[in-house]
Structure 1
């Protein structure tokens, strides 16, 4: 279906249904982002044409293009939040929940690479809706799991926010590599992701046992000792 045909097929929201129109604006912006792959190629005018309204109607809901893009990215992370909640269903331990959350994050990212790149690798602004989404949804889920592991004595004592950022950075790195360099010899992408996340998650368990101040040599010796190797 051509873009003009798509616009003709889209019904304009009835008068007074502001939330419906706002949703259509976000849908249209998302479609354009997926089509172009770049935020700079998406304009207020193009969004208005796709929805079938005037540019002024867009500005009634969003102050400017940055605010519109922030709202699209925030909605993306709300969807991620839902996927991460679903991922922990049926898990019997907090460590399994954490691992499942990380995998849900990676799966969601590689399923929507264009949106993920724009939402997480674009230029951000402190205090934006995107920041609010990250701290109130996906990040909060990870932090709750990490805090539980610390309280259970599985992870070493410390600031759960800092440790969560470390784990999140690992998940983001895996997702970013799979999206940006899909031709590298990763093998099965999800198996690769699971191996990395498992190593990171269990690595913090070892740090908790050996001690956060131990050097690599001490950690290696502990590993060898517990494998029965002298």
Structure 2
């Protein structure tokens, strides 16, 4: 009997040991929270208890890593924006010239949205107010992704290949165009169109938008 109890206790300890700790547990919490957010569609529909249950820990374990639910989902969105920004940066690797980089960023943006349809809404659904968590908005991963686009536009203006203007305003215009295309595609608004090639259509959109900001010959 004692041997059986000892064996059971060891099994329980082994089970607990397999669960992540420290940074690993934090990542597991973020993974679970993001899955639940994608499945349920809003932060309000996801409780800390549900996240804890999905990870296999108690709710107090969540609070060891995040002060409250909003802090948890701010971290979820920030991590997703960091990955999004990395994908955009990778899209420009080896691409020379600001105009070519704008096309590369546009294609990279569309590709990320189309290949991560469940995660794209996490980026832009306004699940949390980021200003509650940082003092400097420029430090936000989402802003850094936008800043990459702004910097390419600014360089194009400095080199004279793009028409003069406010780089931020031009960048937001390009972002809005690309975001609108991805949103239409992901919400099924293009599904009924026969034989549509989404990536080809995205290229057509970029070929219309980017020439409109080029400098006059």
**Equivalent residues of 2:80, 2:122 under 8 A apart:** no
Do residues 27 (structure 1) and 31 (structure 2) align? Answer: yes
**Equivalent residues of 1:84, 1:104 under 8 A apart:** yes
When residues 129 and 104 of structure 1 are mapped into structure 2, their CA distance, relative to the original with a 3 A threshold, is: farther
**Equivalent residues of 1:97, 1:145 under 8 A apart:** yes
CA–CA separation in structure 2 for the residues paired with 1:10 and 1:191: 49
CA–CA separation in structure 2 for the residues paired with 1:22 and 1:9: 15
1:40-55 correspondence to structure 2 within 5 Å? 40-55=44-59
Shift of 1:126: 4.8
Unaligned runs of at least 5 residues, structure 1: 1-7, 211-230
* Residue 88 (structure 1) aligned to one of 84, 87, 92: 92
When residues 126 and 27 of structure 1 are mapped into structure 2, their CA distance, relative to the original with a 3 A threshold, is: closer
- How many residue pairs get aligned? The number is 197
1:134 maps to which residue?
142
CA–CA separation in structure 2 for the residues paired with 1:10 and 1:170: 49
1:115 maps to which residue?
119
Do residues 155 (structure 1) and 162 (structure 2) align? Answer: yes
Partner-residue secondary structure (3-state), 1:148: helix
**Equivalent residues of 2:38, 2:122 under 8 A apart:** no
Shift of 1:183: 1.4
2:208 maps to which residue?
199
CA–CA separation in structure 2 for the residues paired with 1:145 and 1:170: 17
* Residue 190 (structure 1) aligned to one of 177, 184, 199: 199
When residues 22 and 123 of structure 1 are mapped into structure 2, their CA distance, relative to the original with a 3 A threshold, is: closer
Cα root mean square deviation, aligned: 2.4
**Equivalent residues of 1:73, 1:119 under 8 A apart:** yes
When residues 56 and 148 of structure 1 are mapped into structure 2, their CA distance, relative to the original with a 3 A threshold, is: same
Shift of 1:172: 0.7
**Equivalent residues of 2:85, 2:141 under 8 A apart:** no
Shift of 1:123: 4.6
Do residues 61 (structure 1) and 69 (structure 2) align? Answer: no
2:8 maps to which residue?
none
When residues 10 and 87 of structure 1 are mapped into structure 2, their CA distance, relative to the original with a 3 A threshold, is: farther
Shift of 1:78: 0.8
